[in-house]
């Protein structure tokens, strides 16, 4: 497997383990508790990640399909455009710049922890499948329009990297909720 994709697989495993550990100890009240009216709950952080996956995984699929159809193959290493590298850096936790999520990416109000957590894990499996499907493809040349900011076209490698960084960012944000004054009760 392409070394870059192996690194992404390792990151994905770490994200899954971190999310499982966090979600397994929360009550429904803790999952849906908001530290302030304009701040997201743990549940909203994960629901936002699910909404992001619903839009980004099809974009990843399209980039993979394009690369296969055009026979764009490479084992790297890949160097991505400066703007993509900057955006990736801004996606990592802790946030340096906060962005308002576009409407399609905004989380739903209070939801059941089991459903949101199960959906999150299903998206992780789907992302892992895409990493395998992308093996041998030119991660720099394969590109697709960003579902978040339609004027940008992201390379396949950047889409993987940004999606993983974005997940780390919001899991970090969810963990910050645990430390807020007024966080309800103790863990079960």
What is the tens place of the pLDDT at every residue in 43-74?
Answer: 999 999 999 999 999 999 999 999 999 999 99
Domains of the chain by residue range: 3-178
Per-residue pLDDT at 187 exceeds 60? no
pLDDT, one tens digit per residue, over 162-172 is 999 999 999 99
**In this structure, what token pair is assigned to residue 132?**
């395998």
Please answer whether residues 139 and 79 qualify as being in contact, where contact means their C-beta atoms are separated by less than 8 angstroms.
Answer: no
**Does residue 188 carry a pLDDT above 50?**
no
pLDDT at site 186: 61
Residue by residue, DSSP assigns the chain as: --HHHHHHHHHHHHHHHHHHHHHTT--HHHHH--SSTTS--HHHHHHHHHHHHHHHHHHHHHHHHHHHHTT-B--------HHHHHHHHHHSSSPSS--PPPGGGPPPSS--HHHHHHHHHHHHHHHHHHHHHTTTB-TTT-EEE-SSSTT-EEEHHHHHHHHHHHHHHHHHHHHHHHTSTT--S---
Per-residue pLDDT at 22: 95
Residue range 72-101: average pLDDT? 91
Which tens digit of pLDDT belongs to each residue from 98-142?
878 877 888 887 788 899 999 999 999 999 999 999 999 999 999
Q: How many CB atoms lie within 10 A of CB 181?
A: 5
Q: Is the pLDDT of residue 11 over 90?
A: yes
Tell me the pTM.
0.93
Domain range 3-178, its CATH number among 1.20.120.450, 3.30.70.20, 3.30.450.20, 3.60.140.10: 1.20.120.450
């Amino acid at each position: 497997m392409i070394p870059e994709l192996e690194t992404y697989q390792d990151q994905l495993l770490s994200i899954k383990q971190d999310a499982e550990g966090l979600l397994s100890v929360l009550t429904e009240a803790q999952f849906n508790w908001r530290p302030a009216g304009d701040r997201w709950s743990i549940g909203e952080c994960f629901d936002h990640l699910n909404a992001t996956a619903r839009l980004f995984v099809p974009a990843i699929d399209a980039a993979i399909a394009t690369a296969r159809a055009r026979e764009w193959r490479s084992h790297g290493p890949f160097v991505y455009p400066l703007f993509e590298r900057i955006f990736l850096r801004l996606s990592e936790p802790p946030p340096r710049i906060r962005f308002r999520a576009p409407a399609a990416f905004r989380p739903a109000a209070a939801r059941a922890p089991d459903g949101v957590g199960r959906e999150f894990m299903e998206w992780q499996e789907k992302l892992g499948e895409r990493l395998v499907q992308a093996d041998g493809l030119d991660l720099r040349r394969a590109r697709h329009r960003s579902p978040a900011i339609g004027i940008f076209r992201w390379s396949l490698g950047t889409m993987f990297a940004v999606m993983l960084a974005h997940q780390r960012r919001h899991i970090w944000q969810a963990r910050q909720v645990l430390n807020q004054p007024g966080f309800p009760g103790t863990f079960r």
